[in-house]
Amino acid sequence: MEILKVKRDRLKPYVYKVEGPVNFAFYDMLKGKFYQFSPEGNVAELRTILLENGLIFETEGIVPNKIIRQDMRDIQNNIQLRNLQIRLNGSEEDNCWNREKKNGTKRSISLYSLERLHSECLYIPIDKIRIEIEEDDPDKIAYIIRNFNFNCLELFAERGLDHTQLNLYKTMCNEKNVSIATVTKKIVNDFKVEIFNFFYSKFYNPCIGHQIALDTNGVIKSCLWSDESFGNIAEVDLKDMIIRGVFDKTWELSKRIIDVCKDCELRHACDDCRVFALNQTGSLTAKPGYCQYNPYTGD
């Protein structure tokens, strides 16, 4: 007797489906793209789109397990920082979206604060350092590049940087095999799908997760724009605070516990700004007010 094998559509191993209350989305981890669908569409059309974009395949065989799975144990078990924000000088603490500025006294961070930060972070792996400046400060930037251990450097210069000086920083970073980029403000609705962030965002906040900031006064914060102080680097033991989990509550503000976002099918591609949500609503778990999307209606 001939056994008829039924062909079925399966998601490619690197594709994940995320349901929202109304709409749903497919995340393609290889291309770093997501595709959002409404249930009103026709199933045949949906299948065609999924096939054309390489999200599904037809098989009569064994369904493969997901093969791309970022191992979260490393980040959960090890002490490390994803992002270290340092403001070297300026009079304004600005948020990453250019929405609201807080004017203050023009100040420069002291070299002593940087030295303390360096000694506290000596054995803590740092993925990215983001330096914010109003004016160039070659000595302190050189100090950070030469002494800290990190993988990439982001330079945010409000007034731009002299080309010669920027090239010098690039050369110093190249010598350390560290990538360097000059950055601008974030763009709302700039959704990004990255393998690491997809899994990371299930447990941690996509912005302030494993992030620490140091302002021009030497005050430790979860982000430069935040009012919350974790003490002055001159007086506290930052390494011990990280090890004791003092920042965990902030880092673990994942989209899973943020109002509305927790149900949204775009939650693993979306950025976040907890400080903005807090300033606007008084709640640390409020949906960010700049988002116009309503996942419950799909509009």
What residue ranges bind ligand SF4 (CB under 6 A)?
95-96, 207-208, 223, 225, 255, 260-261, 264, 266-267, 270, 273-276, 287-288, 291, 293, 295
Q: Apex CA 110: angle with CA 273 and CA 143, to 5°?
A: 85
| Minimum separation from the CB atom of position 6 to ligand SF4 (A) | 37
| Minimum separation from the CB atom of position 145 to ligand SF4 (A) | 21
Question: Which of residues 98 and 171 has its CB atom nearest to ligand SF4 in the complex?
Answer: 98
| Minimum separation from the CB atom of position 223 to ligand SF4 (A) | 3
| Minimum separation from the CB atom of position 5 to ligand SF4 (A) | 40
Place of tokens 């249930």: 39
Question: Cα–Cα distance between 176 and 190 in angstroms, integer?
Answer: 31
Q: Are 72 and 199 in contact (CB under 8 A)?
A: yes
267 class by beta-carbon count within 10 Å (0-12 exposed, 13-18 middle, 19+ buried): buried
Of 5, 6, 10, the residue nearest 57 (C-alpha): 10
> Residue 50 has which token pair?
């999924």
Question: Which of residues 15 and 223 has its CB atom nearest to ligand SF4 in the complex?
Answer: 223
| Minimum separation from the CB atom of position 253 to ligand SF4 (A) | 10
Question: Which of residues 251 and 293 has its CB atom nearest to ligand SF4 in the complex?
Answer: 293
| DSSP-assigned beta bridge partners for residue 132 | 87, 156
Question: Which of residues 210 and 287 has its CB atom nearest to ligand SF4 in the complex?
Answer: 287
Helix (H) or strand (E) holding 43: helix 43-52
